[in-house]
A and B are shown apart, each in its own frame.
Chain A
Amino acid sequence: MKEYVIDANGMDEKELNRTIKEQAKYHDKLIIDNPDSKHNICAGLTEEVEIEINGSAGYFVGTMAHGPRIHITGNAGWFAGDNMTEGELVIEGTAGDGAGQGIYGGTVIVKGNVGSRTGEIMKGGTVIIGGNSGFMTGLLMMGGKLIILGDVTEDVGESIMRGTIFVLGNVKSLGKNAVMEETTSEDQNELQEILTEYGFKLADKDYANFKKIVNMQ
Chain B
Amino acid sequence: MCGIAGVIYKDKKTHPVGEALTSMLESLQHRGPDSAGYAIYGSLDFPENYYQLNIEVKRRRGALDNLKSLLNQISPIFEEQLIESVGDSDVYKCKIALDEFSLLKPCINEIDDLENVRVINGSHSFEMIKDTGKVKDIAERFNVSSRMGTHGIGHTRFATESGVDRYHAHPYQSYIIPDITVVHNGQITNYWKIRDPLERKGHTFESFNDTECIVHYMADKLDQGYKLEEALDQAVIDLDGPFSILVGTPNGIGIAKDKLGLRPGVMVETDEIFAVASEEMALHDVTDSDEIEQIAPGETRAYTI
> Taking beta carbons and an 8 Å cutoff, which residues of A are in contact with B?
36-38, 56, 58-59, 74-75, 77-78, 93-94, 96-97, 113-116, 134-135
Minimum C-beta distance from A53 to chain B (A): 13
Q: Are A36 and B294 in contact (CB under 8 A)?
A: no
How far, in whole Å, are A115 and B297 apart by their CA atoms in the complex?
Answer: 8
Which residues on A sit within 8 Å (CB–CB) of B280?
Answer: 37, 56, 58, 75, 77
Q: Are A96 and B266 in contact (CB under 8 A)?
A: yes
How far, in whole Å, are A189 and B294 apart by their CA atoms in the complex?
Answer: 33
How far, in whole Å, are A72 and B158 apart by their CA atoms in the complex?
Answer: 30
Question: Which interface class (under 10, 10 to 19, 20 to 34, 35 or more) fits B?
Answer: 10 to 19
Q: A77-B279, A113-B294, A135-B297 are in contact. Are A36 and B264 (CB under 8 A)?
A: no
Q: Are B281 and A96 in contact (CB under 8 A)?
A: no
> Taking beta carbons and an 8 Å cutoff, which residues of B are in contact with A?
27, 261, 264, 266, 279-281, 284, 290, 292-294, 296-297
Most buried by B among A37, A56, A78: A37
How far, in whole Å, are A74 and B287 apart by their CA atoms in the complex?
Answer: 14
27 A/B residue pairs, CB under 8 Å, sorted by A: A36-B27, A36-B281, A37-B280, A37-B281, A37-B284, A38-B281, A56-B290, A58-B280, A58-B281, A59-B279, A74-B290, A75-B290, A75-B292, A77-B264, A77-B280, A78-B264, A93-B290, A93-B292, A94-B292, A96-B264, A96-B266, A97-B264, A97-B294, A113-B294, A115-B261, A115-B294, A135-B261
Please give me the residue from chain A that is nearest to B264 by CB atom: A78
Please give me the residue from chain A that is nearest to B293 by CB atom: A94
The secondary-structure label for the interface of chain A is loop
How far, in whole Å, are A37 and B280 apart by their CA atoms in the complex?
Answer: 6
Q: Are A94 and B281 in contact (CB under 8 A)?
A: no
5 A-B pairs closest in CB distance: A37-B281, A37-B280, A115-B294, A116-B261, A96-B294
Which of the residues A37, A58, A93, A134 comes within 8 Å of B296, measured between beta carbons?
A134
Which residues on B sit within 8 Å (CB–CB) of A97?
Answer: 261, 264, 294
How far, in whole Å, are A35 and B266 apart by their CA atoms in the complex?
Answer: 18
Which residues on A sit within 8 Å (CB–CB) of B279?
Answer: 37, 58-59, 77
How far, in whole Å, are A93 and B291 apart by their CA atoms in the complex?
Answer: 9
Which residues on A sit within 8 Å (CB–CB) of B297?
Answer: 115-116, 134-135
Which residues on B sit within 8 Å (CB–CB) of A74?
Answer: 290
Please give me the residue from chain A that is nearest to B259 by CB atom: A135
Please give me the residue from chain B that is nearest to A74 by CB atom: B290
Minimum C-beta distance from A85 to chain B (A): 26
Interchain Cβ contacts within 8 Å, total number: 50
Which residues on B sit within 8 Å (CB–CB) of A113?
Answer: 294
Which residues on A sit within 8 Å (CB–CB) of B290?
Answer: 56, 74-75, 93
How far, in whole Å, are A36 and B282 apart by their CA atoms in the complex?
Answer: 9
How far, in whole Å, are A75 and B289 apart by their CA atoms in the complex?
Answer: 11
Q: Are A116 and B296 in contact (CB under 8 A)?
A: yes
Which residues on A sit within 8 Å (CB–CB) of B264?
Answer: 77-78, 96-97
How far, in whole Å, are A93 and B261 apart by their CA atoms in the complex?
Answer: 20
Please give me the residue from chain B that is nearest to A134 by CB atom: B296
Which residues on A sit within 8 Å (CB–CB) of B266?
Answer: 96
Q: Are B292 and A134 in contact (CB under 8 A)?
A: no
Minimum C-beta distance from A143 to chain B (A): 25
Q: A96-B264, A116-B297 are in contact. Are A36 and B284 (CB under 8 A)?
A: yes
How far, in whole Å, are A134 and B279 apart by their CA atoms in the complex?
Answer: 18
Q: Are A134 and B261 in contact (CB under 8 A)?
A: yes
Q: Are A94 and B294 in contact (CB under 8 A)?
A: yes
Instruction: Knowing that A58-B279, A59-B279 touch, tell me 16 more A-B residue pairs with CB under 8 angstroms.
Output: A36-B27, A36-B284, A37-B281, A37-B284, A58-B281, A75-B292, A77-B264, A77-B279, A78-B264, A93-B290, A94-B292, A94-B293, A97-B264, A113-B294, A116-B296, A134-B297
How far, in whole Å, are A96 and B279 apart by their CA atoms in the complex?
Answer: 10
Please give me the residue from chain B that is nearest to A36 by CB atom: B281
Q: A77-B279, A78-B264 are in contact. Are A115 and B284 (CB under 8 A)?
A: no
Q: Are B296 and A115 in contact (CB under 8 A)?
A: yes
Please give me the residue from chain B that is nearest to A13 by CB atom: B30
How far, in whole Å, are A59 and B27 apart by their CA atoms in the complex?
Answer: 14
Which residues on B sit within 8 Å (CB–CB) of A93?
Answer: 290, 292
Minimum C-beta distance from A45 to chain B (A): 20
